[in-house]
Amino acid sequence: MFHFPKLYALDLEDSTLLPEIDHSQAQYVLVDFYAPWCPHCQHFAPEFERIAHAAQSSAGNSSSQHQVDQHTLALSSSILSGTVDCVKFSHECTSWGVDGFPTLKWGKKEDWLARSVSKLQTIDVWPRTAESVAEWIGNQTHIHLKTAMLSRVDVMRMMHQGQSIPQAADPVSGQDKTVVDPWDVQLATALVLHNALSQHNFLQDKEKDMPRAALVDFVDLLALRFPEHGSQTHCRQSLKSLHRLLDSEWHTLGYNVERNGESVFVVDASAVEGQWQLCGLNWNNYSKGWHECRGTWPGKRGYTCGLWTTFHTLATQTEDQHAMKETQVVRSMIQHFFDCEECRDHFLQIPVTESDIATKRDAQLWWWNAHNVVNRRVGKLEEQYQDGDPEYPKMQWPSSKECPHCRETFTGHVKQHKSFLRMPATTPEGDVPLEYPTIPQAVEHEKWNLDEVVAFLDRTYR
């Protein structure tokens, strides 16, 4: 459900990355470290296939390419182009210094084989297209890649050919379709905890380690608010156990190393997961996949849908006196552990102050509006790149079908929100700025009835 299909780039794994490099004739190696759930990784995937195709085309003429399999052609190119899925192989990505997605690493073959991470370069160009990457490579080397031979539209058509829509895992028996499926919350929580432990370095000094504090606080919140329905009756107790591990036995969970001249603490995620299980469930069960958050194509919906479901559920479970603090705990988790840098930075621009969230209702509405702010922005990006999920277009939510009375002329009082942050006047080329980031702006634009929206949230995430 997650893994991107591959056309021309080699699909590298932790056990094959260095052997494939060693066997190739390439002088240079270009690797796209990606997370399938990351929108910017999804936008870039067809562009990277165009780069890989151009690199392979430079290894032989067009007539001979049809007589040689793609794997052999890739190894014979002067540039070896490959991808690493950082959900499947998180430790490998961390070992190469990857701390955000997508990360494009470039270097000489011998530097990769020697694992000389400091000698590798990160290609950070904008707009992130095959042409801009090819131009960067051309400025560094004598190699001039001809990306015009294959269009983005052609790549996307090939990537979708032959793909069947993945089947959803069996829904919970008797599940009310008007209520979110708790399985998606559990799976998203399992993934966010796994990613935090396996893909991030921490400071040796616990007192200065803000990421560790954010993780401990988030687990503490989950232990208090995680939904418990049906078979999920042991979830909060299991999260309390994890909180004790992270809070009291942190020093036993990993080891200290030197990375890039800095002393860091690395958690042995495999060891942690060997002695702890979320909700007492064997980790292999999560390979069953999503229920309501299943997307049409690999990487669509899934993790991000599951995260939003979790955020709304936690907000619905909160209490007035804790609403602001718990909102900030979740925001801090996103700040430190959501590894799509551009997505994270835009999310953190959504205004929130002490006066914004004084009650549970305020928290529910803040997360609902934040979700719509992100939907609006991502929807425009998907329209720009023509790579949205055809069955689940981004929209302002809830739809009139889901909540017939949520949109109407609103005449009641709306709290005037003040923001610590100002929206940027300009954005990078090709980027999409946030629109209507406050609730009053959203109400004015969509004619929301906030009382009905809150009632919808209560029904859906109870």
CATH 1.20.120.310 is right for the domain spanning 182-460: yes
Query: What residues form DSSP beta bridges with 201?
Result: 266
pLDDT tens readout for residues 5-54: 788 999 999 899 999 999 999 999 999 999 988 888 988 999 999 999 99
**pLDDT of res. 164:** 54
Domain locations along the chain: 10-160, 182-460
CATH number of 10-160: 3.40.30.10
What is the average pLDDT across 184-198?
A: 94
What is the average pLDDT across 244-248?
A: 95
pLDDT tens readout for residues 97-117: 898 899 999 999 999 999 999
**pLDDT of res. 245:** 95
Label residue 428 by pLDDT band (50, 70, 90): very low
**pLDDT of res. 37:** 86
What is the average pLDDT across 330-342?
A: 93
**pLDDT of res. 179:** 87
Query: Phi then psi for 171, rounded to 5 degrees?
Result: -70, 160
**pLDDT of res. 60:** 57
Lowest mean pLDDT among 21-30, 75-84, 101-110, 240-249: 75-84
What's 407's DSSP letter? B
At a CB cut-off of 8 Å and minimum separation 6, what does 248 contact?
none
At a CB cut-off of 8 Å and minimum separation 6, what does 313 contact?
180, 185, 225, 227, 461
**176 pLDDT higher than 80:** no
Average pLDDT, rounded, for the chain: 87
**394 pLDDT higher than 90:** yes
* Chain centroid to CA 173: 29
